[in-house]
Amino acid sequence: MSRRDVFQAIADPSRRDIIELLSEGPLTVNAVARQFKLTRQAVSLHLKVLCECGVVHMHRQGRERICVARLEPMQQAAQWMQRFHSRWEQSMDKLDRYLYQLQTQEDKHGESKSSEQ
Amino acid sequence: MANPNLQSSESQGMNTENNSGHLADPATSLYGARILQAPVELVWRVWTDPEHVARWWGPEGFTNTISRMDVEPGGHWQLVMHGPDGTDYKNHSVFVDIETHKRIVFDHVSGPVFRATIEFQDLGRTTEIRWTMQFKSPEQLREVINVFKADIGLQQNLDKMSLYLSELMRASA
């Protein structure tokens, strides 16, 4: 079996749409299928993957199957993205400091020049 | 998507399976659904009785005046939404298909033109509502999203209806 984690869950555009739809609240499989130009089988397969990845939970209610989003594992994806955001921020900080350094050096240079005159 | 023939046969297969209406095409339609915490009889009444509809319809902060609402095929529905800044938005629709406790189809005949299909699924103590707004072209869909924020509007309609129903259920409990 291929990897089953949050990244596998969000790798497919249809699965991202399903997660978005379910983030508004639980729905039956039929209501999920309504949104897509896919066969019921294809939607069921996506839901199966989402369940295995732990971001959707399904239970029976009478004759219907209800899908519920579990959004906590999405944190994992957010944290992973955050690392790059932090790295970017650090680079920006370094650039900021470097620019400041350059400017103060030039100012000192300017000052010493003006004092020479 | 790559094979149009496959696409159409898949859609047909699904239509017979679901045994009701069309599929939402994301390129030309908006779709939203909720499981509402109320039995289908009450959900239906809240959708078809103008006094109830006026209490939850429209975006956040809007109020409504309904001068006419004949819920039957060919029946007219005239609703004015009053925006928080005092602007009035006139809405004229004509009901196309009514199946009690199951389905409402109406054409919004004043601009922007669209066909709305609302399906009700009886889940016992709860009811699932599935709401599709079908536009004529991808350009029209883009326009209603840009100008009227219709995508947010649909979600707010569902949220406000859900909230109104839970208030009704609490009041009657």
pLDDT digits (tens, 9 = 90+) for A17-29: 999 999 999 999 9
CB contact under 8 A, A27 and B128: yes
Structure-model confidence comparison of residues B112 and A113, the more confident one = B112
- Minimum mean pLDDT among A34-38, B4-8, B138-142: which range? B4-8
> What sign results for the dihedral spanned by CA atoms B110, B113, B117, B118?
negative
Instruction: Count CB pairs under 8 A between chains A and B.
Output: 65
- Residue B6 in this model has a pLDDT that exceeds 70: no
Residue given tokens 């389905």 in the structure block: B103
- pLDDT higher than 70, residue B14: no
Residue in A34, A41, A45 to test binding to B, most B beta-carbons within 10 Å: A34
Order across the sheet with B76-82: list the strands: B29-36, B127-134, B114-122, B103-108, B88-99, B76-82, B63-69
Q: Say yes or no: A74 contacts chain B, CB-CB below 8 A.
A: no
Q: What is the pLDDT of residue A105?
A: 84
User: For the packed helices B4-18 and A40-52, what is the interaxial angle rounded to 10 degrees?
Assistant: 90
Give me the percent of chain A exceeding a pLDDT of 90.
48
Q: pTM score > 0.80 for this model?
A: no
Q: Are B24 and A66 inside 8 Å of each other by CB?
A: no
Closest Cα in chain B to A65 = B123
Say which of B11, B13, B24 has its CB closest to residue A34.
B24
pLDDT at B170: 92
pLDDT digits (tens, 9 = 90+) for B105-151: 999 999 899 999 999 999 999 999 999 999 999 999 999 999 989 99
Flag if A31 and B23 touch (Cβ within 8 Å): no
Binding-face residues of A in 2-21 toward B, CB within 8 A? 17, 21
Nearest CB partner across the interface for B23, out of A21, A37, A64: A37
- Give the separation between CA B118 and CA B31, rounded to whole angstroms: 10
Q: Which pLDDT value is given to residue B107? A: 98
Selecting from A27, A35, A40 the residue whose C-beta is nearest the C-beta of B24 gives A35
Which comes out higher in pLDDT, residue B25 or B54?
A: B54
Q: How far is CA B96 from CA A13, A33, A95, B118, in A?
A: 34, 24, 63, 12
Distance (Å, whole) CA A57 – CA A88 = 35
Maximum alpha-carbon separation in chain A: 93
Q: Taking CB atoms and an 8 Å cutoff, what residues of chain B touch A42?
A: 10
Of the candidates A37, A48, A44, which has an alpha carbon nearest to the alpha carbon of residue A8? Answer: A48
User: Any CB–CB contact under 8 A between A23 and chain B?
Assistant: no
Q: Looking at this predicted complex, what is its ipTM? A: 0.73
Instruction: State the average pLDDT over residues B82-87.
Output: 95
